[in-house]
Amino acid sequence: MGAKVREKPPGSGNFYVCLDYQTIRKSKKCANKKEAESAAKVINAQILAGTFNLGTKTEKAKTVSEYADIWLNHTTIKPATKSNYESLLKVHINPDFATTPVDKVTRADIKNFLKLKLKGGYSLSTVKNIKAALYNIFEAAFDAKGAEGAQGGPDKILHAGRTCQVA
């Protein structure tokens, strides 16, 4: 584990610093052997000191509430519909999911949430509207993460169907 200097392919004169650190493997081509050895020495010293940072972003995941705001501010819907969604967010969704990072919400969480709404006496129409709002929030999250960062679309969390099969 750590940084090593390798010549790839052997005898070619192409020197690389090869890093094996915390289950991540990377290599970087250097101009010459001396530069590669120097870089490897610095990286290994930083690893030993505990100050090495691979440079990966440790960005805090956005919450359901943040993606709800993104979705509502970037969608084209009638004012009355927008007002209805805002009300659903305020009364139903935000009390349960506002501070939850969107990548921590599971399909089971959503299904249980919708079942509780039905058992709580809310009409099927209201629960369908809540589900539609959640679908759009997760769609905004998926679009924001892009293909490389997201693990499936909102269909992975919510089945986008014409009926609400939550019971």
Most confident segment among 9-23, 42-56, 85-99: 85-99
Name the average pLDDT for the chain: 82
Give the Cα separation of 131 and 105 in Å (integer).
14
Alpha carbon 87 to chain centroid distance? 26
Q: Is the pTM of this model over 0.75?
A: no
pLDDT digits (tens, 9 = 90+) for 139-159: 888 887 653 344 444 444 444
Say how many Å lie between the first and final Cα of the chain, rounded. Answer: 51
**Which DSSP category does 130 fall into?**
H
**Which DSSP category does 30 fall into?**
E
Q: Higher pLDDT residue, 115 or 53?
A: 115
pLDDT digits (tens, 9 = 90+) for 71-129: 998 888 899 999 999 999 999 999 999 999 888 888 999 999 999 999 999 999 999 99
Count the Cβ atoms, other than its own, within 10 Å of residue 137.
28
The superfamily CATH assigns to domain 64-157 is Tyrosine recombinase, N-terminal domain (1.10.150.130)
Q: Which of 88, 81, 84 is nearest to 134 (CA)?
A: 88
